[in-house]
Structure 1
Amino acid sequence: MNKPSFKPYRLPAGGWGSAKSVGNILRREGVLASAPLALSRHNKVDGYQCNSCAWVKPASPLPFEYCENGVKAVAWELTAHRCTPEFFAEHTVTELRNWDDYHLEQPGRLTHPLRYDAETDKYVPVSWGHAVEEIARELRAVEDRQKGTVFYSSGRLSNEASYLYQLFARLYGNNNLPDSSNMCHETTSVALPASIGQAVGTVSLDDFAHSDCIMFFGQNPGSNAPRMLHPLQEASQRGVPIITYNPLRERGLERFLNPQSPTEMLTGKATRISSQYHQVKAGGDLAAIAGICKAVLAMHDEAKANGGAAVLDEEFIRDHTHGFESFVDWLRLQSWDELERRSGLHRADMEATALVYGQAKAAVAVYGMGLTQHQAGVETIRMLINLLLMRGNIGRQGAGICPVRGHSNVQGQRTMGVTEKPELFPLDRLGEQFGFEPPREPGYNTVEACEAVLRDEVKAFFMLGGNFVRAIPDHGQMEPAWRKLRLTVNVITKLNRSALLPGEISYILPVIGRLEIDVTENGQQVLSMEDTSACVHGNRGLRKPASPHLISEIRLICELAKKVFEPNPRVRWDDYQRDYAEIRREISHTLPDSFWDYERRMWEPGGFQRDLPAKRREWHTDTKRANIVTPRGLDEDKDMPDVGHDSLRLMTLRSNDQFNTTVYGYDDRFRGINNTRKVVLMNRSDIDRLGLKIGQAVTLRTVAHDGVDRQLGGMLVVAYDVPIGCIGGYYPECNVLLPIWHYAEGSKTPAAKTIPVTVHSEGERVLEPQLEYATG
């Protein structure tokens, strides 16, 4: 690899930089000639849904309805490279554990089922029949099924596979169904139901076209959901104010040059995205939103005192909300000094937002993991809902709450019942439908599953997709504990680090991808997914599977179920395996309110939206109203010591060349970082105050008093435009610094956006001093 370098990136998001990046990955994966045909069906009505982020699949798609990261995900799946048994014959697991995330996935698509051989420390090929038989035998042998077995899944699963997976787990006897949403938007699933009575947002794509104010909190569309930049560009060009609260100045929220516009590409004329950009302190969003609410209330008081029109929607508050008076009393008690200190902003910043918001007729609030991954994440999202409810911005065209989900079908998995919370799925109906008594005891979420592994209670861990051990916190504690498991099953398409931490019995089971043709004895099958706006779409594969030895996730679940369970005439595994429409019929029986006429509606342009009561101002809450929740305070991280003179708040970040734990390369174009991921982004004031130098190698250590030394060395100091007292480093590398017990109260989402750390010099300068800021 070339020497690490840092050079500020002055160009907008999109543009020729995006085009070059797309060309590079298509060439590298050997699909430069074949990928364009696949991309022509990307996010199209009769095509496939993007296997990257969960952004909306529109009813009227663009000719090229994909973004830079979508192309990377397609190239990653359709790669010409193959990871065959010969590869594993040449490398021991111990050797491969020393490879980084990028190089582990570069050998390409896995081609055969594999079993770990402890004697040779290698994975060796086995038959599917042998794998299913032994895994079933081990699952049947677990004595305590409630505590001893975990069924994890990533957001790549289809609705059909997710539904069968949760049915499998509950027939087995537990609700241990953690999934990737536990690590990102579980906070949303806790906060929204208490406030508005549903676990998903209320905004559709059409709302962006009718909004006259869009607010962003802790979400970076330029890297995480680039197709979102198209409706934002259209809004900006209409003169809609877009107000951003984010610690880092992200290029996608500053300027965008549409790669699909020949005029823009030739002229280089970019669109301004954010009209206001406030660099809130990491963990300061709760105070910042409270400050906006306080300023809106003050505007209302002044208008009423002067005989003007009300700023608050008094009729909506009266008829649809509960708790408003208590919240107002609390707001009046908050001092601006405290709000400024905790948010890291000036009062004028929050008042400027309130002025624009208070004049808007319909406002959308967008947020991502910058809000969810804090200890006070649940209260922060409820505060954001409070802000919307003050002016009636729920259940109105052009307005609403918009959590942006990351993985492509993570929201659909939850809809299908992949949840550790039995109260979130109609178990009575499920039990009646399939003739069994579903377990009612809450299962493990991600954090609880990790805690159970550390207690040596878990014997079998089945991973249907994902890279669980790499994605979770506290690598230093978790990786040794993982090796003690009796059974680990990795259902994946490419090699990852989780598979290199085998238990006593460990399997790698490769499956066909979303873009590949899934053929059963009944012919080609189709699947369905749900996007971040709760719209459900059909998915039709179009490429031949990477290997004739691959099977579908649905076939795997069905074959395994037939070996684990006694025959049950109501659970027709053979029928489900032959015809996926039979699974959709079962789904429509379990969830009739949303999935009626499923087979037809999933092919409608734009899909069909699930039933969203809050969108029509029907509140399925304890009070039967929208709850304006008064927070307990503005404390951000009660578990850990206050950040002082020597300690800083670490935020974990994704690079532009990354999707979750998948690393496409070592360049982070928008931040101007090249050929490395071992960097720590710091404010120049903090660098000087701590006696460090730009380009110097440092070690980060977690500030905690639990007796565990969590540290990460070899990190290169990069001066960056980040608030004083805050630093940034890449996920998942920095997960080693995140204690398993540091999570959002109420949701147990790992609090990865505020980790108190200290920075220690290693005395070595690796990077030459360069320009300091990647903005301009």
Structure 2
Amino acid sequence: MAATKGSKPRIKPFRGPAGGWGSVRSLAEILPREHFPLEGMRELARQNKPDGFMCVSCAWAKPGEPHPAEFCEEGAKATAWELTKLRTTPEFFRDHSVTALREWRDYDLEQHGRLTHPLRYDAAADKYVACSWDEAFDAIAASLRPMDPKRVVFYSSGRTSLEASYMYGLMARMYGNQNLPDSSNMCHESTSVGLKAAIGVPVGTTQLKDFDECDAIFFFGQNVGSNSPRMLHDLRRVRKRGVEIITFNPLRERGLERFTDPQNPIEMATLQETGISTQYHQVKTGGDIAAMMGLAKFLIEWDDAAKAVGDPPVLDHHFIEQHTKDFHAFAEKVRASSWEEIEAESGLTRWALEQAARVYARSKAVLAIYGMGLTQHVKGVENVRMVVNLLLLRGNIGKPGAGPMPVRGHSNVQGQRTVGITEKTELAPVEKLKELYGFNPPTEKGLDTVETCQGIVDGSVRAFIGLGGNFLRAIPDTEKMETAWPRLDMTVHVATKLNRSHLFPGRQAYLLPCLGRIERDMQQSGPQAVSMEDSTSCIHGSLGKAEPASEYLLSEPAIVAALAKRLLPPNPRVDWDSWVEDYGRIRDAIEATYPDKFKDFNQRLFQPGGFWKGNKAAERIWETPSGKAEFLPPSGMSATGFTDKGGQYRLMTLRSNDQFNTTIYGYHDRFRGVKGTRDVLFMNAEDMMQEGLREGDVVTLEGASQDGRVRRRPGLIATVYNIPRGCLGAYYPECNVLIPIEHHAEESHVPAAKSVPVTISRAS
């Protein structure tokens, strides 16, 4: 099979709603393309159900009383992608060199099908060749044992189960390091850092039930229609009871505008729609701090005026006095901020911000929902802290229907951190691990994603073990990283399908195929279930029943255990074989390590709606140094971290309707009207006119950086889109090439992919 070509590109505005017949047609197209089996239809009926399996894509919460079809268009695509009948066998690699495969598109690599056999890279032939599991494990361990552990990285994807994640983190620490970067480093680490500093917990305080208690929702930088479509049912429900939804987002995204429920026969038959946002404010990318400062300025000055004349207060002064610290310093900074600066940086008028502030002022319980549109900026942590500042003004944390609700990406990315996948000693249960397993865990901070990239470039990192994911494609500075990657002594990837990361092998390289979550995992004690944590801190069990793609696949826990037994000296307190025989014993170990979060873990595994691990801030217990929730003023109005210059734009990278993270399902971004291509640059009409561009002109983006390295992304089709002036949109991961490794969030090190300084030139 040669790399396929996309259909002729077509860009035409989409007029329909999110959901509706568009979703039905999209699934009708993808299921036959994946040769989706009959058993797959049975599996879809089990998706996100209390006794079924958890979706392998997004981390949105799973209700205790699910819909008949508790999957969305994107989730069904993910299931079809995993249960495809297409296969990538050793014969495929006999016909294709690794170098030749680098010319294939991301879509074509993964579309070829599931990996079936363990593989070793043969450098002389430049091909992957089949090997036995024992050969792979023995060789990997033999290479890693003499290495300095500090020079080895253990990365894990956000879809890895709690069980495999716990084992993986324990293996890394017993080996001698905390180099445990994961997907959080690329997306919501700004949340973990920002919320922890402000309210004492690194996660949101809200649950699904809060949708039934809120009377307003403020939405920041999250594209629900493409990234977590099942939330549209919750948003539709609150709109039906009159809840106002105030949206701040640079692009007009259809899922935040209107929705037709595909499971409602009347809506489908009559083409009815539910409006989602009651106000839609197109903030400049990087302008959310300014927008929230504007809201706070109205609230504080209205409160000042009310106090002066003896009217009822606008702010919750009792809550502020009892539960917060440094309100007065924050309020003074807000009062001193000028409307000219707020309007210029946010891109919004004072009148527009006033309308939003009035909704906030009259609402008794406000949910603040946000995504990577806030976290992936140089000042991403300050964005998160501003969300908290806004909520604290009226006591909107720790009461029903109120609080921060960060929307995580991959299905267990939050849960991995809960069970020890972290490079930070303060987040790891070091003393408990020492007590349980009789070894001295490392206390030196490990490498995060950005530091891993820097270490690969400078040569200080010598080996990379990847438990899932497509790390090399997901990270910034694509060309620089692809050049450095083959200099690694060892690369190991645990995966279900071939992806671009696998095509840059180290001097020794292994590709280890694993079971997917939806597949039957049969071990000595019988079929095994795994678990994961959703965005609202609820833990769910997941049981796969589908026929495995190959008899040669191993589960992730089995792969981790087999490697650990060879890599580590014997430890009588860790029976890796016993854990693989019965995953319930892994859960017992997790419970022993985190008794406060996982009490009666096995007994509650399949509790409908999951079981909540608890959250001190939701109880208004603030585990901060001061013992109170902290008002933390921002350092400035812009989250971009750079100064705008003439001819320079703010680029934000985007996901399409036909992808999940780095996985591309197709070349149709329905909601944005794009078909047959991903080489698109979304531009404001006035900016196009200023640049002398016409619809369809092909341009090159050039990244602005301080290191003197030229970063270019040619071949982009300029098209008019509803986006603020000075801002551009283009697809991730194709435009990662424009993001320097050093362009990341302060404190959290999240790549700042939502505000990248670029210039435009015509294609040569």
Alpha-carbon distance in structure 2 between the residues aligned to 1:481 and 1:381? 33
Q: Which residue of 1 aligns with 2:3?
A: none
1:636 Cα offset (Å): 3.0
Alpha-carbon distance in structure 2 between the residues aligned to 1:145 and 1:226? 42
Alpha-carbon distance in structure 2 between the residues aligned to 1:265 and 1:90? 48
Q: 2:487 aligns to what SS in structure 1?
A: coil
Alpha-carbon distance in structure 1 between the residues aligned to 2:699 and 2:637? 32
2:255 equivalent to 1:278 = no
Q: Which residue of 2 aligns with 1:552?
A: 555
Q: Which residue of 1 aligns with 2:355?
A: 352
Per-residue CA deviations over 1:307-344 (Å, capped at 9, x if unaligned) read 22111011100100011011011111100000111111
Q: 2:27 aligns with which of 22, 27, 47?
A: 22
Q: Which residue of 2 aligns with 1:412?
A: 415
2:364 equivalent to 1:361 = yes
Please list, as runs of the form range in 1=range in 2, the aligned pairs for 1:156-555 lying within 5 A after superposition.
Answer: 156-555=159-558
Q: 1:454 aligns to what SS in structure 2?
A: helix
Per-residue CA deviations over 1:49-76 (Å, capped at 9, x if unaligned) read 1111000011111110000000000000
Give the partner amino acid of 1:37. R
2:66 equivalent to 1:61 = yes
Question: Does the 8 Å contact 1:256/1:273 carry over to 2?
Answer: yes
Question: Does the 8 Å contact 1:453/1:481 carry over to 2?
Answer: yes
Alpha-carbon distance in structure 2 between the residues aligned to 1:280 and 1:632? 19
Question: Does the 8 Å contact 1:313/1:390 carry over to 2?
Answer: yes
1:706 Cα offset (Å): 1.2
Alpha-carbon distance in structure 1 between the residues aligned to 2:15 and 2:638? 37
Alpha-carbon distance in structure 2 between the residues aligned to 1:269 and 1:303? 43
Alpha-carbon distance in structure 2 between the residues aligned to 1:754 and 1:269? 36
Q: Which residue of 2 aligns with 1:40?
A: 45
Question: Does the 8 Å contact 2:186/2:751 carry over to 1?
Answer: yes
Give the partner amino acid of 1:62. H
Q: Which residue of 2 aligns with 1:702?
A: 703
Question: Does the 8 Å contact 2:40/2:546 carry over to 1?
Answer: no
Q: Which residue of 2 aligns with 1:145?
A: 149
Q: 1:86 aligns with which of 68, 86, 91?
A: 91
Q: 1:580 aligns with which of 569, 579, 583?
A: 583
The two structures, once aligned, show a CA RMSD in angstroms of 0.8
Q: 1:507 aligns to what SS in structure 2?
A: strand
Give the partner amino acid of 1:51. V
Per-residue CA deviations over 1:504-549 (Å, capped at 9, x if unaligned) read 0011100000001111111111111100000001111110110000
Alpha-carbon distance in structure 1 between the residues aligned to 2:259 and 2:523? 44
Alpha-carbon distance in structure 2 between the residues aligned to 1:756 and 1:281? 13
Q: Which residue of 2 aligns with 1:770?
A: none
Q: Which residue of 1 aligns with 2:644?
A: 643
Question: Does the 8 Å contact 1:216/1:244 carry over to 2?
Answer: yes
Per-residue CA deviations over 1:585-628 (Å, capped at 9, x if unaligned) read 11111100010100011211111101200111000001000111
Per-residue CA deviations over 1:165-222 (Å, capped at 9, x if unaligned) read 0000000000000001100000001000111110110110000111000010000110
Alpha-carbon distance in structure 2 between the residues aligned to 1:585 and 1:486? 36
Q: 2:615 aligns with which of 607, 612, 617?
A: 612
Please list, as runs of the form range in 1=range in 2, the aligned pairs for 1:59-138 lying within 5 A after superposition.
Answer: 59-138=64-143
Alpha-carbon distance in structure 2 between the residues aligned to 1:647 and 1:34? 52
Give the partner amino acid of 2:16. L
Q: Which residue of 2 aligns with 1:660?
A: 661
Question: Does the 8 Å contact 2:37/2:85 carry over to 1?
Answer: no
1:637 Cα offset (Å): 3.4
Per-residue CA deviations over 1:67-126 (Å, capped at 9, x if unaligned) read 000000000000010111111111111110000100011110000000111111110000
Per-residue CA deviations over 1:136-189 (Å, capped at 9, x if unaligned) read 0111021x211x100000101100000000000000000000001100000001
Q: Which residue of 2 aligns with 1:693?
A: 694
Question: Does the 8 Å contact 2:286/2:638 carry over to 1?
Answer: no
Q: 1:365 aligns to what SS in structure 2?
A: strand
1:578 Cα offset (Å): 0.8
Which stretches in structure 2 are left out of the alignment for 5+ residues?
1-5
Alpha-carbon distance in structure 2 between the residues aligned to 1:722 and 1:624? 42
Pick which of 292-301 and 374-383 moved more. Answer: 292-301
Alpha-carbon distance in structure 1 between the residues aligned to 2:710 and 2:649? 17
Please list, as runs of the form range in 1=range in 2, the aligned pairs for 1:663-674 lying within 5 A after superposition.
Answer: 663-674=664-675
Alpha-carbon distance in structure 2 between the residues aligned to 1:416 and 1:348? 46
Q: 1:352 aligns to what SS in structure 2?
A: helix
Alpha-carbon distance in structure 1 between the residues aligned to 2:198 and 2:644? 31
Alpha-carbon distance in structure 2 between the residues aligned to 1:316 and 1:202? 17
Pick which of 596-605 and 399-408 moved more. Answer: 596-605
Alpha-carbon distance in structure 2 between the residues aligned to 1:352 and 1:307? 24
Give the partner amino acid of 1:202. T
2:44 equivalent to 1:31 = no
Alpha-carbon distance in structure 2 between the residues aligned to 1:153 and 1:686? 41
Give the partner amino acid of 2:423. E
Question: Does the 8 Å contact 2:379/2:640 carry over to 1?
Answer: yes
Q: Which residue of 2 aligns with 1:754?
A: 755
Per-residue CA deviations over 1:418-446 (Å, capped at 9, x if unaligned) read 00001012110111110000000000000
Question: Does the 8 Å contact 2:37/2:84 carry over to 1?
Answer: no
Question: Does the 8 Å contact 1:483/1:502 carry over to 2?
Answer: yes
Q: 1:282 aligns to what SS in structure 2?
A: coil
Aligned-residue sequence identity (percent) comes to: 55
Alpha-carbon distance in structure 2 between the residues aligned to 1:676 and 1:663? 11
Alpha-carbon distance in structure 2 between the residues aligned to 1:306 and 1:515? 63
Q: 1:584 aligns to what SS in structure 2?
A: helix
1:32 Cα offset (Å): 5.7
Q: Which residue of 2 aligns with 1:3?
A: 8
1:574 Cα offset (Å): 1.2
Give the partner amino acid of 1:282. T
Q: 2:46 aligns to what SS in structure 1?
A: coil
Alpha-carbon distance in structure 1 between the residues aligned to 2:428 and 2:507? 34
Q: 2:38 aligns to what SS in structure 1?
A: coil
Question: Does the 8 Å contact 1:682/1:728 carry over to 2?
Answer: yes
Please list, as runs of the form range in 1=range in 2, the aligned pairs for 1:758-769 lying within 5 A after superposition.
Answer: 758-762=759-763
Alpha-carbon distance in structure 2 between the residues aligned to 1:156 and 1:397? 30
Q: 1:483 aligns to what SS in structure 2?
A: helix
Per-residue CA deviations over 1:216-268 (Å, capped at 9, x if unaligned) read 00001100000000010011111110000000000000000000000000000
Alpha-carbon distance in structure 1 between the residues aligned to 2:701 and 2:83? 38
TM-score of the superposed pair, with normalisation by structure 1:
0.97
Alpha-carbon distance in structure 2 between the residues aligned to 1:589 and 1:546? 34
Give the partner amino acid of 1:54. A
Q: 1:216 aligns to what SS in structure 2?
A: strand
Alpha-carbon distance in structure 1 between the residues aligned to 2:357 and 2:301? 10
Alpha-carbon distance in structure 1 between the residues aligned to 2:745 and 2:100? 36
Question: Does the 8 Å contact 1:323/1:630 carry over to 2?
Answer: no
Question: Does the 8 Å contact 2:208/2:536 carry over to 1?
Answer: yes
Alpha-carbon distance in structure 1 between the residues aligned to 2:92 and 2:211? 49
2:18 equivalent to 1:13 = yes
Alpha-carbon distance in structure 2 between the residues aligned to 1:335 and 1:211? 31
Alpha-carbon distance in structure 1 between the residues aligned to 2:512 and 2:699? 39
Question: Does the 8 Å contact 2:288/2:639 carry over to 1?
Answer: no
Alpha-carbon distance in structure 2 between the residues aligned to 1:459 and 1:702? 29
Alpha-carbon distance in structure 1 between the residues aligned to 2:127 and 2:586? 37
Alpha-carbon distance in structure 1 between the residues aligned to 2:360 and 2:299? 8
Which stretches in structure 1 are left out of the alignment for 5+ residues?
764-776
Alpha-carbon distance in structure 2 between the residues aligned to 1:193 and 1:608? 22
1:349 Cα offset (Å): 1.4
Q: 2:246 aligns to what SS in structure 1?
A: strand
| Number of residue pairs matched by the alignment | 759
Question: Does the 8 Å contact 2:27/2:77 carry over to 1?
Answer: yes
